[in-house]
Structure 1
Amino acid sequence: MMKIEWKERVYNSFVGTMSERDEYQKQEINKELSVAGIGLWWLNMLIMLIMLLVDTMNHTISIGTILIFLSNMIYTNYLTFKFKKKGLNETECATKEEYLQHKKTLRKAGLKAGILWGFQMFVFMNYIFPYVGSEEISISLFDVVLWSCAGGFFGLTMYIFGLWNLKRLY
């Protein structure tokens, strides 16, 4: 009971209200807060990338880069844990056809995620970071195979995590 009251006080203070809001107002406030939270997370990720590039140029690693990385990971893991605990990340499938359709969609999304992640890592690790760090840019067959396999593993992992969130109701 004390925890709920504390959360409600922080919520009202953050929103700038003195009294309880009705359900519609709370829903709209939560929608705006969630969009702002997602936007700030992406901005935070962009800032982390810029800090990492600056650290690479200077051949150092700063405490700011480490702290922003940790804050991003804590935020993401907190949300993942809370969504999982409350079942908010589950997709309910009423029929076998619906399940197979979601599975097909997940397969495509996993393949796309794996290809994009593998390509992005290949470009960053073999072009951007060596260039920014004033190092020699060299590409070998090993690098292509490495990031292709890593992308495949990443895509497969995303597909499996997606399957775990499908809930069969039939």
Structure 2
Amino acid sequence: MSMLLMVISLIIDTYKKEMSLIKPILVFLNIGYSAYIAFRLNKKQLDISNCATSEEYNIKKAKLRRSSIIVGIQWGFWMIVLMEYILPFIRGEGLSFSWFNMIIWFIGGLLLSVCIYYVSMSKLKKRYDEIN
């Protein structure tokens, strides 16, 4: 719900060319909540997946590809929001929008998704090799 509120607030602020105080609060709330969920998943080892068959391995491999792409896109989006909207607001500058910066953050998100995919695939392959 807070993500939806933040996106709606971002659209309204972009249209009005101003920034409200609620947006930085929502961003930090979402970042903190995401970090907490990731920490709890890792602590309970719920992010480890076992594959008994090669078919199951291929299914999990496809899911990893999709999820890593989604994570990269989300990271790029939130970096654009943080760097182009929130930090200029905190510094007292006006809102700025640059296609160059947007492309840079998109490429950064792509690189992040590739890294996440290969790290996750190495973990999955290791677990698959241990079982088989």
The amino acid of 2:8's aligned partner reads I
Match of 1:88 among 46, 60, 68: 46
Are positions 1:62 and 2:20 aligned together?
A: yes
Structure 1 residues 63 and 165: alpha-carbon distance in aligned structure 2, compared to 1, 3 A threshold: farther
Of the two, which has the highest radius of gyration? 1
The amino acid of 2:37's aligned partner reads L
Structure 1 residues 65 and 148: alpha-carbon distance in aligned structure 2, compared to 1, 3 A threshold: closer
The amino acid of 1:153's aligned partner reads L
Q: Does the CA-based 8 Å contact 1:110-1:158 persist in structure 2? A: no
Q: What are the equivalent positions in structure 2 for 1:51-130 lying under 5 Å apart? A: 51-95=9-53, 98-107=56-65, 109=66, 113=70, 117=73
- Separation of aligned partners in 2, 1:163 and 1:106: 7
Structure 1 residues 152 and 58: alpha-carbon distance in aligned structure 2, compared to 1, 3 A threshold: same
Q: For residue 88 of structure 1, report the CA deviation from its aligned partner.
A: 1.0
- Separation of aligned partners in 2, 1:144 and 1:79: 28
TM (norm. structure 2) is 0.58
Q: Which segments of 5 or more consecutive residues in structure 1 lack a partner in the other structure?
A: 1-42
TM (norm. structure 1) is 0.47
Q: For residue 93 of structure 1, report the CA deviation from its aligned partner.
A: 2.0
Which structure is higher in RCO with an 8 Å CA cutoff and minimum separation 6?
Answer: 2
- Separation of aligned partners in 2, 1:74 and 1:64: 15
Q: For residue 45 of structure 1, report the CA deviation from its aligned partner.
A: 0.6
Structure 1 residues 154 and 61: alpha-carbon distance in aligned structure 2, compared to 1, 3 A threshold: same
For 1:92, what is the secondary structure of its paired residue?
coil
Q: Does the CA-based 8 Å contact 2:69-2:110 persist in structure 1? A: no
Match of 1:149 among 107, 114, 120: 107
- Separation of aligned partners in 1, 2:32 and 2:63: 29
Q: Count matched residues.
A: 114
The amino acid of 1:74's aligned partner reads G
Q: Which segments of 5 or more consecutive residues in structure 2 lack a partner in the other structure?
A: 86-93
Q: Does the CA-based 8 Å contact 2:13-2:19 persist in structure 1? A: yes
- Of all paired residues, the percent bearing the same amino acid is 27
For 2:50, what is the secondary structure of its paired residue?
strand
Structure 1 residues 81 and 64: alpha-carbon distance in aligned structure 2, compared to 1, 3 A threshold: same
